[in-house]
Structure 1
C-alpha cells in the first residue's frame, strides 16, 4: 500500500482528517497553476526534514522558502558532520549537571539531538568566512542564503566529504535551482552571531550582509511578479518569524504601498502545536489573519495541531503522490 493510500484509509477525523484536507488543498492549489511558499520555523533541518523537503524542491512543489537562520545553516551542518551528532532519547531525564557536561563536550542540544560544535559550527565557519571576506574586500553585498549557496556550489564541502546522502539535503537542492528565499532575523543564528563577531572585531563590514529590510523589499517584488491575480499559497511549518515575516508582505503592499489590486494569500496551512490563547500569534487561528489583510474570506484555510516532524513529511508524501 502506498503512503497516500494508507493515510487516506486511516486518517479520517480530527487532526488526521485536517492533514488530508490540507494536503489535498495543497495539490489543488498547485494544479490550478499557482505558486507556494513554505516557511520553516524551529529546528526542522536538525529534525532532517530535508529527507522529504529536498524531493519537494526537486519536483517543483514549492517556489520560495522563508526560514530561520538556524534552519538555513543546520541542514549544512548535518550534511558535513552527521557522524558526530549524538542522539539522546532520554533527554527529559537530563539534570542541569548533565546539560553542563554536554556543553563542555561541545555538544549543543536540540531536544533529543546534540549538534557537535567543532565538527559542525567551526567547519562551516572556516569556509564561509573566506566567502564573506572575499565579498567584503570586493565591496560586494549578498543575502545570507546567497552566501550559503556560494559555499555549496563552490564544491569545498563536497571535497571534504558529505556525511549524508546529498539528495537528502534541501539546501543542496535549493542551491542547484537558485531557489528564492528569505531568512528574516538571520542574526539570531550561529552563523549570524559569528558574522557579527567579525564585524565587532573590525574584520568585516556589517553592510556586506544584506538586511532584513532588503529581504522584505525582495519579497515584495517577488510576490508582485509571481502572484498574478489569484495570489500565492502559504504553507507554514511552526510559528515564529519564519512565518510572521513573509505573510506580512501582502498587507504591506495593499495598505502601505496602496497597491489595492494585490491578491491575498490564496491558500493557508499551519502545522503548529501552539496554544490559541494568551496572545499567541503562532497559535492564532487563520480567521484572525483576515482582520490583518493577509487572507481573504474565500482563502482555503487549514490548521493541523500536531508535531511538524510527524505531519510535514506525511503531507509532502501526499503532494508527491507517494
Structure 2
C-alpha cells in the first residue's frame, strides 16, 4: 500500500473474534476485511481530504471526470507524497497514472470513496452530483475502448477474484453484440480466472468458464482457464513470469 502501509493490522485468528472484539476494532477505527484491518484515519481520511478538494474544485469549474481520473491527477501532482510508505516506483497506481492506463471501475458508487462522495453531495460541499462520472459512462467508455482495440488484436480477459469487478467488463462484448448490434465485435480472446470460490447456485465468482458461452461472452473455441488458489500468491507469480 502506498499510503498507511505500516498501519494496517493483521488478524490471522479473525474467525475466532467475538462481537465485543469486533466492536473494539470499530472503536479503534480499524475496519476489518477478512484478516486485515484498514486504518480509517491513516488510510481513508488522509486520502479523503485531498480527493474532496479535487472534487469540489472540479464542481466549481463545472468539470467532470471518472473516479480514477481524479486519483491520477492527485498522484501526478504528488499531493499525497508526505504519506508515502513505499518506494513510489513500486506503486502500480503511480505507474498507471503516469501511463494514463485505461481503467474501468464498476460499482465505484459502492466504495468508501463513493460513500464519501454521496455524503459531500448531500451536505452541499459538492454542488453537482454529476461531477464524478457514473458507472454507465464507464461502460460506454469501455465499449469505445474495446471496439477500437479489438480491430487490430485479440483481447484476453484475466480475472482476479469475482463479483462486479469481473462481470462488468466481460459483459461489454454481449452488450455490443446483442444490444447495440450495429457493429459486431469479437468475443474475448481468452479467459483466465484466479479464484477460490466454489461453484454454487447463482454464484458468479464460482461459475465455470463454459457458462459464459451461453451469455455470448466467450465462444466454443476460446481458451479457458480456472486457477483455484489464493490470488495474492498466484497473481504475482504469473506477472513475474510474463512481465
Distance 2:108 2:62 in 1: 21
Q: CA deviation at 1:114?
A: 1.3
The TM-score normalised by the length of structure 1 is 0.73
Classify the secondary structure of the residue corresponding to 1:146.
Answer: helix
User: Superposition pairs for residues 105-254 of structure 1, below 5 Å?
Assistant: 105-158=28-81, 160-204=82-126, 205-228=128-151, 231-254=154-177
* Residues 269 and 302, structure 1, Cα contact 8 Å, conserved in 2: yes
CA displacement, residues 254-304 of structure 1 (integer Å, 9 cap, x when unaligned): 111114531110010011122212121221111111111111211110001
Kept in 2, the 8 Å contact 1:229–1:263? The answer is no
Aligned to 1:89: 12
**RMSD over aligned Cα, in angstroms?**
1.3
Question: Counterpart of 1:79 in 2: which secondary structure?
Answer: coil
Size of the aligned set, in residue pairs, is 242
Distance in 2 between residues matched to 1:216 and 1:84, nearest whole Å: 35
- Report the 3-state secondary structure (helix = DSSP H, G, I; strand = E; otherwise coil) of the residue aligned with 1:254: helix
CA contact (8 A) 1:81 1:163 kept: yes
- Secondary structure of the 1:147 match is helix
Task: Find the partner of 1:267 among 168, 190, 194.
Answer: 190
Rounded Cα–Cα distance in structure 2 between residues aligned with 1:239 and 1:143: 22
Contact 1:230 1:264 (C-alpha < 8 Å) held by counterparts: no
Aligned partners of 1:219 and 1:249 also within 8 Å: yes
State the Cα distance separating 1:231 from its structure 2 match: 3.0
Partner SS state of residue 171, structure 1: helix
Seen in structure 2, the aligned counterparts of structure 1 residues 252 and 80 have a Cα distance that, compared at 3 Å, is: same
Match of 2:221 in 1: 298
Correspondence for 1:45: none
Runs (4+) off by over 4 Å: none
Deviation, structure 1 residue 253 = 0.8
**In structure 2, the residue corresponding to 1:269 is in which secondary structure?**
strand
Deviation sequence 1:58-95 (CA, Å, 0-9, x none): xxxxxxxxxxxxxxxxxxxx312112222222222221
In the aligned structure 1, how far is the partner of 2:203 from the partner of 2:14? 27
* Post-superposition offset of 1:229: 5.8
Larger CA deviation: 258-267 vs 144-153: 258-267
Q: Find the residue that maps to 2:69 and give its secondary structure.
A: helix
